[in-house]
Structure 1
């Protein structure tokens, strides 16, 4: 925790808010409406939370003008903004505990040809190879391995036990969390005469600016062309991105997703948890894929897509599974013929009723 106090009027400037109440009120941090105390801020992110906000003990509330009007008489200190959730996100950076260490720990091993900024931090047992670059104010935590010819930009955060290899290039303000591998060997093999023959992966990984990669992820280098993560991509934990994949700017990928090789995903897409995407397909911009879906074909139109079946009670699921199998066993042409026959019968009955009238 950051134990520094901030005045209400100072916090207002951080989020371009109008403040109401005690300007010199000192606040220590952020908390939920339920657990906040008089030294903490809480935010109200919807009308359904108004009653909870009325009973909150928070020292000040982040609200819209509409919510302020509803809460006056219950609270007296407010930061009024257009988006309370965005203001909350910005203020988390204010109250975040900052890693202020700079310099190189004595257990780090750095090749003489590497260029490491004087304002960077290199933690214990870090290994940095030949011709590497680490930019200004970047933090490389303990036990990180940075292989030959890797470049890390400015203001990056590389957490413990990360491996950067395959001559990958990391942009500015990138965060990579513990145990992730960027630039590892892609899964490329040529089958011949009953054996798998390894294909050397000659490409790299290019990571843009403001990218976030969670822990225990694998971002494989390309076989020939590079794997590319464009600016603003955010990736949760436990995600696999295979060789030669390209992910467009500001796309968000939740945990346990797997993206097979040579797939292109557009800008501003959302992949919910455990989505699987086959290789060599293209997904256009502004596509949302719901959780546990399997994408097997190109998506050329923006929108929301789903696959799989929803949760149901076990006995109902077993009956449905039998029906699924029965449908699969019936040729599609036979189903179409049955539907056409039913349509003809309905039209015949309608004609009969009209004649009788």
Structure 2
């Protein structure tokens, strides 16, 4: 199959940039600076990549005006303010897209379901009663869609995804393989030494332009809905418990776990393996660094961390012993010692001043 081919001038126009050099240069794909060849375009995002850019065999480079002036080894450029954003836009131009429409013969669809003519339903998909699948949505093989599920337009549902619990999904949502949305939340009432299951009666509401990675679980609400607002992006292996609300354009990296009934604000970033306890609120514009444990509400924007940073093993063992010793000393004793040391310092300072 012939690769996609585009003129440099056309690509520059797509990213609202200025083309410099051979306007009719034909480019066939994107590549890293190290791997690029004459038919590739690569991007340079900072001064630290200039040496790689000078050595690169790329046919054209995406650069800022300042970076272009430092690259006399190349002749063909797309000049923009933000090369990384331009690169992100062009990935969609060269992406191989599924252009199929229609319903495969092995799919099982309830007669009451409403499937858009422009949608694609893959092999062995099962769609239940009263479901809705919007225009140009792609549902890959072996997806299970339970009763009363609504999926918007231009969505992508990867293989082996399960949608249940009356889930409602907006437009341009991507859900990757083996993810379960709308499953039963972890709700049990303890009584006389036993756990009594609480039936989950809420749903999941997912806004527009949401991306959910592979092997994630997003539980339906117990009573109120679990909500992901527009633009939320979620990495692989993320657990979101019942009644959680995540604000617009918030990002969760891999292995995050969010306990039930927690509200996370807009434009937040939770790095890898962050854990969040239940029934707390996190404000807008909060960043939480990797492997932190959030145990109480955060009311102000900013960056927050917890946990122990990596040390050389021997240093870590010494620090752990000291930390344990510190924990064994009552806080009142520490405060008294600090007060005593402060008094001694002040006494010495007074003596030196008199001399």
Where on the TM-score scale, by shorter chain, does this alignment land: which range?
Answer: over 0.9
4+ aligned runs moved over 2 Å, structure 1: none
Structure 1, gaps ≥5 residues long: none
Normalising by structure 2, we get a TM-score of 0.99
- Rounded Cα–Cα distance in structure 2 between residues aligned with 1:329 and 1:113: 67
Structure 1 residue 319 displacement after superposition:
1.1
Structure 1 counterpart of 2:232: 233
1:137-148 residue pairs with structure 2 within 5 A?
137-148=136-147
SS for the counterpart of 1:61 is: strand
Normalising by structure 1, we get a TM-score of 0.98
Structure 2 counterpart of 1:84: 83
Is the 8 Å Cα contact of residues 18 and 80 (structure 1) preserved in structure 2? Answer: yes
Name the stretch that deviates more: 320-329 or 212-221.
Answer: 320-329
Structure 2 counterpart of 1:130: 129
Structure 2 counterpart of 1:242: 241
Name the stretch that deviates more: 278-287 or 327-336.
Answer: 327-336
SS for the counterpart of 1:191 is: strand
Structure 2 counterpart of 1:34: 34
Structure 2 counterpart of 1:302: 301
SS for the counterpart of 1:154 is: coil
- Rounded Cα–Cα distance in structure 1 between residues aligned with 2:21 and 2:349: 72
SS for the counterpart of 1:53 is: helix
- Rounded Cα–Cα distance in structure 1 between residues aligned with 2:286 and 2:27: 41
- Rounded Cα–Cα distance in structure 2 between residues aligned with 1:231 and 1:9: 33
Is the 8 Å Cα contact of residues 2 and 95 (structure 1) preserved in structure 2? Answer: no
- Rounded Cα–Cα distance in structure 2 between residues aligned with 1:324 and 1:190: 37
Is the 8 Å Cα contact of residues 217 and 239 (structure 1) preserved in structure 2? Answer: yes
Structure 2 counterpart of 1:50: 50
SS for the counterpart of 2:70 is: helix
Structure 2, gaps ≥5 residues long: none
* Deviation readout 1:261-319 (Å, 9 max, x if unpaired): 00000000000000000000100000000000000011111110100111111121111
Structure 1 counterpart of 2:351: 352
Structure 1 residue 2 displacement after superposition:
7.7
- Rounded Cα–Cα distance in structure 2 between residues aligned with 1:322 and 1:272: 28
1:159-178 residue pairs with structure 2 within 5 A?
159-178=158-177
- Rounded Cα–Cα distance in structure 1 between residues aligned with 2:299 and 2:209: 27
SS for the counterpart of 2:69 is: helix
* Deviation readout 1:109-157 (Å, 9 max, x if unpaired): 0001100000000000000000000000000000001100010000000
Is the 8 Å Cα contact of residues 2 and 96 (structure 1) preserved in structure 2? Answer: no
SS for the counterpart of 2:336 is: helix
Structure 2 counterpart of 1:24: 24
CA RMSD, Structure 1 to Structure 2 (Å): 0.9
Structure 1 residue 348 displacement after superposition:
1.3
Structure 1 residue 329 displacement after superposition:
1.1
1:272-291 residue pairs with structure 2 within 5 A?
272-291=271-290
- Rounded Cα–Cα distance in structure 2 between residues aligned with 1:109 and 1:256: 34
Is the 8 Å Cα contact of residues 2 and 97 (structure 1) preserved in structure 2? Answer: no
Structure 1 counterpart of 2:93: 94
Aligned residues: 355
1:319-330 residue pairs with structure 2 within 5 A?
319-330=318-329
